[in-house]
Structure 1
Amino acid sequence: MTSLRTWDVYLIGTLPSNEYVQQKIGRDKGIFINSQNVIQSVLKVVSKEPDHLPKERLFTCFSHDLEPFGFVDNSMEADAVREERLIQFLNDYLVVFNPSRKITASRNEVYQARDIQLIRKSDRYKEDDWFMPIPIFSKKKNGLSFEEFTTRLLNQRHVGKVPFVSTEPNDTPDIILWKDDDGSLTVFGTFHSHSYAYGGFCFMADDSLYVKPFPDNWMDDVYEVDESILFIPDGRYEDLLLLLKGEGASMHTSGNQSESAGEVAAAIMEVVRPNEIAEDGKSPIDYEQEELKFLDHFIQLTKENGLYYEAKDLVNFHTAMKTSNLVILQGMSGIGKTRLVSSYARALNIHNERQFTIIPVRPAWGDDADLIGYVDAMNHLFRPGDSGLVDAIIRAAKEPDHLFMVVFEEMNLARVEHYFSQFLSVLELDADRRIIGLYNDHLESGLKNANQYPAKIPIGSNMMFVGTVNMDESTYHFSDKVLDRANVINLHVLPFTRLRERTNVRTLTSKMSYPLFHSFKKQEETLQLSEREAECLWELHLQMQEAGRYLGIGPRVVRQIDRYLQNLVPSPYLSRREAFDLQMVQRVLTKIRGSEELLHPVIGSLHPESNEVVGGSFLSVLKRFEDISDFTETKKVLRQKAKELKMNGFTF
């Protein structure tokens, strides 16, 4: 039984010298007649190999692979004549191929060149040339205009795919190319890393992105394959890096190019910084005003759907959705939790089932296979779960410029940390590392639908996860593993008199897209909490630690509170003081659970006459920090927890 693997990359090969062949594999020469009377040759790789491909291998090529390009072999001639004819033929060409490896039944590795193309060597070709591959993007291949492509690069968004270029993290190209309709090339760089999903490449540069036209007088030195890859000698590649960064002025283009997108780029974008170009590539966008317009739209839609929530609760929900990997809406049955999520989806321009997936959670779910699916070993298929989650993730990865939302209805009917365990670990990772495993990698080659359902699938940053929960005797309480990663929002019923109000409903059309929604997000890594806010959280942490060694506020929660406050858009609906109060309820008080003996010193007790909380270390800390918040909602929750301790002897 043999095993075959083909790498989806292009390499360039040439016929090596006999000395090189003898050194590498011990044969006298690189061309010979094999036992099937077919001329067999070996190729030496002369282009940069992907990091994951075995290095310095010789690849086998057969004469029949060359027949489409005009090579003719006459098996009746002498072996030496046939071999010499192939040598003379190959001396004129560079061989472009896909590398493959076959492991034979005797466990030998055989490397072969597949899907061969030939490129005639230019007059400037040198025997010691070593080629670097540069991906080429274009409107024809990627469906973007030059302005759209540039804007996406600047904002570190996906710019599309290039076939037969390595997508591995260690193979980030320093530079990439744009090909204009007239054939002129523009160079972009330099890039230090990239991510890759179904939307293609997303390149990360340092503070500056350099853009220059590719010199016309270098075109005889390079080789273009399928309008997708430019192979350039490594010496010219180094020259290009110098040219791109403004050094080596003598290497600038001679000026005989006609005016093109490349010249425009060189003139107005020699050094540009991310986020200075708007969506239309022309003028800056006031993202704060755009976000306020979106909030007004969202508030209007909730009214249109017969929902009556305070505007600050809607802003709280929106801010949590921007900054949390998972948002959980909690409240009594019948108050419109799912309708609220639907209204938000509509405000985000998510209208169809492709982008909006509702998953009713089943009580019997015990692990992530119930949610994701399983391998049907008998039929050699992966069977995705009935939830539709896997298909939603794959669709989102294929369409990175669209938002996708997944809603888990009655999320706590089963234990979240069991059926959602893999997601809880993955969602907190950086966007390019958020990968879910459907099954073991070694099974992939044996599954009939592995192309549709690969062993690993990425969770795009354009995916949003929401859960709705009821708290009653039929449900499970959340573990700390869930609470550390989620904003748990309590929705409250407003006075029923509000149901009598009539609203002049306006039909609004949303222009929201993922790039615009993403532009609302602020992700400053340095902690932006004020000194007093940080001190308050630390004091509360110490008091919780006094009550129990496993109680407290972890650094993860502090960073998430900070990110929430960073992303609070200035509005008349929700102030920073109120938002800090809400974060105390949603991120800190959710973790104060346990017996009266354990928590009474922290929570305090109810005064028999005023029905207010008295005593308790938590309340004393809040009083010392009233300069940063009134803690109105926090005190309400403390009162409820004190009541539960008194009546039940414990609180959740």
Structure 2
Amino acid sequence: MFEVDKMMKSQLLESNTNLLLGVLATNPEDFPKIGETQEAVTQMKNSNKVCFFVKPISSQPEPIIELDHIHNDRDFSTLYIGIEDSFPRNLMPTNITYTTDIEGKVKKVKDKLDGKIIVFRPRVIFTTEGKVFKNIDIISIEDGDVPLNTEYLPVPLAPDRRQFEQSLKESKMILFKDFYHNMFQPDYVISEDYLYYFNDGWKKDPSRKNGWMFTAPTEVRKIKIDQKVLRVQQVIGNPGSLVFISEDYLFSLKNEFMKEGMSIYEAEDETIDPHATLTAEALKIPIQSTEPVSKPIQAPKFSALPSSDAHKLELQFLSEMEKQAIAKKLCYEKEDLINFHVSVKTNPITILSGMSGTGKSQLALIYAKTLGLSKDEGNLLVLPISPSYTEPEDIIGFHNTSTGLYVPSETGLIDFLIHAKNYKEQMHMVIFDEMNLSQVEYWFSPFISLLEMDQEESYRELKLWSKDTVCHNSAKYPATISIGENVIFIGTANMDETTKDFSDRLLDRANIVTPQKMKFSAHRQALRDMAHLEQVNSDFVELFRNRGIYRSWNSNSDAWAAFSDDELVFFDGLHDIIQKYDKQKGISFRALERIGMFLNNIPLDENGQCTIARDTAIDLQVKQRILTKIRGSSEVFGGLIGTLSVIGGSPQGSELFELFTSTAANGISHFILTQDEIKRKARELYINDFAS
């Protein structure tokens, strides 16, 4: 039996911090003897779980390479072992956790991983019998539009090029996130638009496990890289900190480094940036550090931007968001992107709803990425909602009166909100994924009222524990946490038999945005046009995520002034009709005020025209804010919604449909979306005797 000494065991456990790439293994002779069959994806022996075998295709930590070399156990494999628990919740193949259909689970896991590149962290495990297993924790799965038949080298990213070069020149410590000492020294580093090549000269800084110092700065060479070409050759390990680049591609650049490469001491021929007037420095925007702190930061004050600059930046933000979406091969109608953006900036919480597979979660993540937010920097939290959540303590934690300690939930929400409080000048975003798997009003109840309060008022505070009690860790977890205007709340929701309805109390405060599925032919054409699309510009990240910049896009115009007298009369009439059928429903002052805010906040294009036509915007808001509340049985709402027995026809006996096709309605909007939604509800009422 192979014995692992204490030092090597410690080094192997430290290797679990690294990021690696892998693919499903193909050689059965290499497979560990733990499965029922000798296949890459199979059932584990004596278990109802599925396992799979991953071949590494990137550089590995030195301790693991040594383990592979000297291990003499005939059952040991150089492959990594994954099990169904290795998937994070957002990547878990559908419905494999509780099913007993082994063949079905095997197929789903294989379909999920076959032909894909797996980004993972190793998880070295030691058994009591002295065996060593190399398991994995999956971080992400790439779609396989990058080469699979090559080795990849991990390449750290240095965000601030000038600071990075200065640290190289002075041999100061450089922290490479996700690149630790148990890896071989980095041969390449990317900083902004430059790729740096290091032949030798790195030393490990003993004070930090990811700290490196370079001792031969005169030997460093750098070349400018084409980001479009690089995207084809790289796999993102961790956005903002580490990528993996094809070794073949890097090898092909060796001559370029020798012939055209620059020294870090050479002056660069910088061209003038056409957006130079919109840089953080030029606009005097305070950029805050993202290093962790033990005390709250006194945030620098922000001076409001001139409206013209704010307007330009908002249009640039929308353009970058569209490019981010297409870069992810996700195509949305521009109107949907603008609708979502305006909803987010004018509402306490925005909920993305619709059929599964339309990219709701991805749209939220694209919005976050365009703002420059990421999990690693602590300003993005993706919180999957479990059906077991029944009270606020499930997401925020509780005060243990026996120990006198505040125990935060494993969701990480409280630590995230503390980070947002400490970094007030940075935008932060929480994404509640599949938020209606549990009844939202149960676990989200403390936030519903808080988010409606004035964002600058001190009473907009989330209570964690009573100040009359003893809390020994109060320095870290105070009695209350204020939630500022730098926190965005977004939810995603599916509407099917497994989910819960939203209450009117929540709907009054939320905008329910339903992105339209693009035509398949239009989607394909958009993907073809990607090659001609200007690449994503990372120069704007520091601007977009600045709270002052983001909030400068909000209009302070009076929400009620957004409506004409005729429009207010129309909405009064709509309210009265709904009230005839249910006195608890209708159009609240809050709902109409939010509609007015939406109308006031639609960005103008370069020609001064609204990016969403006013009649379309009113149509969207009626569908998103008013019709969402009208749901129930035909006994209650039959006369309001009507019934639709023939697809393509008009609802019969529908007061709503009559109102929205009236002359008064035509003078306000075309109400196409509203009419289609009424038809959907009427059809549902006809079939199920209930409309959702």
Q: TM-score range by the shorter chain?
A: 0.5 to 0.7
Residues 371 and 385, structure 1, Cα contact 8 Å, conserved in 2: yes
Q: Report what 1:556 is aligned to.
A: 590
User: CA separation in 2, counterparts of 1:608 and 1:500?
Assistant: 32
User: CA separation in 2, counterparts of 1:586 and 1:308?
Assistant: 21
User: CA separation in 2, counterparts of 1:602 and 1:198?
Assistant: 53
Give deviations 1:568-591, integer Å, cap 9, x for gaps.
Answer: 112464211111100001100000
Q: Report what 2:12 is aligned to.
A: none
Q: Report what 2:578 is aligned to.
A: 544
User: CA separation in 2, counterparts of 1:387 and 1:436?
Assistant: 16
Pairs within 5 Å for 1:440-589 = 440-443=466-469, 446-501=470-525, 502=528, 503-504=530-531, 505=533, 506-509=535-538, 510=540, 511-512=543-544, 513-525=546-558, 527-528=560-561, 529-571=563-605, 573-589=611-627
2:666 to 626, 630, 637: 626
Q: Report what 1:416 is aligned to.
A: 440
CA pair 578-284 structure 1, distance change in 2 beyond 3 A: closer
Give how far 1:343 is off: 0.8
CA pair 375-522 structure 1, distance change in 2 beyond 3 A: same
Amino acid at match of 2:613: S
Amino acid at match of 2:682: A
User: CA separation in 2, counterparts of 1:484 and 1:632?
Assistant: 23
Give deviations 1:356-377, integer Å, cap 9, x for gaps.
Answer: 1000101111110111101123
Give deviations 1:10-54, integer Å, cap 9, x for gaps.
Answer: xxxxxxxxxxxxxxxxxxxxxxxxxxxxxxxxxxxxxxxxxxxxx
Amino acid at match of 1:289: K
Residue 393 (structure 1) aligned with residue 417 (structure 2): yes
Give deviations 1:261-301, integer Å, cap 9, x for gaps.
Answer: xxxxxxxxxxxxxx9x655xxx7643222211211111111
Give how far 1:335 is off: 1.7
User: CA separation in 2, counterparts of 1:419 and 1:151?
Assistant: 41
Structure 2 unaligned runs (5+)? 1-279, 289-294
Amino acid at match of 2:395: L
Q: Report what 2:635 is aligned to.
A: 597
Amino acid at match of 2:576: L
Residues 559 and 597, structure 2, Cα contact 8 Å, conserved in 1: no
CA pair 539-199 structure 1, distance change in 2 beyond 3 A: farther
Amino acid at match of 2:626: V
CA pair 436-285 structure 1, distance change in 2 beyond 3 A: same
Residue 439 (structure 1) aligned with residue 469 (structure 2): no
Pairs within 5 Å for 1:345-384 = 345-353=368-376, 354-384=378-408
Residues 198 and 400, structure 1, Cα contact 8 Å, conserved in 2: no
Give deviations 1:140-196, integer Å, cap 9, x for gaps.
Answer: xxxxxxx99x9999xxx99xxxxxxxxxxxxxxxxxxxxxxxxxxxxxxxxxxxxxx
User: CA separation in 1, counterparts of 2:340 and 2:625?
Assistant: 14
Residues 536 and 621, structure 1, Cα contact 8 Å, conserved in 2: no
User: CA separation in 2, counterparts of 1:591 and 1:492?
Assistant: 20
CA pair 285-492 structure 1, distance change in 2 beyond 3 A: closer
1:638 to 667, 671, 678: 678
Residue 316 (structure 1) aligned with residue 364 (structure 2): no
Amino acid at match of 1:333: S
Give how far 1:415 is off: 0.7
User: CA separation in 2, counterparts of 1:425 and 1:199?
Assistant: 27
Residues 361 and 411, structure 1, Cα contact 8 Å, conserved in 2: yes
Structure 1 unaligned runs (5+)? 1-146, 159-196, 204-274
User: CA separation in 1, counterparts of 2:347 and 2:339?
Assistant: 12
What SS class does the counterpart of residue 426 from structure 2 fall into? coil
Q: Report what 2:267 is aligned to.
A: none
Residues 375 and 381, structure 1, Cα contact 8 Å, conserved in 2: yes
Amino acid at match of 1:632: I
User: CA separation in 2, counterparts of 1:403 and 1:556?
Assistant: 25
Amino acid at match of 2:566: R
What SS class does the counterpart of residue 538 from structure 1 fall into? helix
Pairs within 5 Å for 1:35-434 = 198-200=296-298, 279=305, 285-353=308-376, 354-431=378-455, 432=457, 433-434=459-460
Residues 151 and 278, structure 1, Cα contact 8 Å, conserved in 2: no
Give deviations 1:571-630, integer Å, cap 9, x for gaps.
Answer: 464211111100001100000011112212212232648522244221222222211110
Amino acid at match of 1:579: A
Give deviations 1:81-132, integer Å, cap 9, x for gaps.
Answer: xxxxxxxxxxxxxxxxxxxxxxxxxxxxxxxxxxxxxxxxxxxxxxxxxxxx
Residues 320 and 370, structure 2, Cα contact 8 Å, conserved in 1: yes
CA pair 587-199 structure 1, distance change in 2 beyond 3 A: farther
User: CA separation in 2, counterparts of 1:641 and 1:526?
Assistant: 30
User: CA separation in 1, counterparts of 2:591 and 2:296?
Assistant: 31
Amino acid at match of 2:465: Y
Amino acid at match of 1:300: K
Give deviations 1:501-545, integer Å, cap 9, x for gaps.
Answer: 321251321331211111000133451222222222111100000
Residues 304 and 552, structure 2, Cα contact 8 Å, conserved in 1: no
What SS class does the counterpart of residue 397 from structure 1 fall into? helix
Bigger Cα Rg? 1
Residues 645 and 686, structure 2, Cα contact 8 Å, conserved in 1: no
Give how far 1:336 is off: 1.2
Residues 603 and 611, structure 2, Cα contact 8 Å, conserved in 1: no
CA pair 617-377 structure 1, distance change in 2 beyond 3 A: same
User: CA separation in 1, counterparts of 2:374 and 2:344?
Assistant: 18
Residues 278 and 285, structure 1, Cα contact 8 Å, conserved in 2: no
Q: Report what 2:238 is aligned to.
A: none
TM-score under structure 2 length normalisation: 0.53
User: CA separation in 2, counterparts of 1:459 and 1:609?
Assistant: 47
Q: Report what 1:114 is aligned to.
A: none
TM-score under structure 1 length normalisation: 0.56
Residue 651 (structure 1) aligned with residue 691 (structure 2): yes
User: CA separation in 1, counterparts of 2:665 and 2:524?
Assistant: 40
Amino acid at match of 1:560: R
CA pair 342-619 structure 1, distance change in 2 beyond 3 A: same
Give how far 1:414 is off: 0.8
Q: Cα RMSD between the aligned structures?
A: 2.6
CA pair 596-530 structure 1, distance change in 2 beyond 3 A: same
Percent of residue pairs identical: 33
- Which structure has more strand as a fraction of its residues? 1
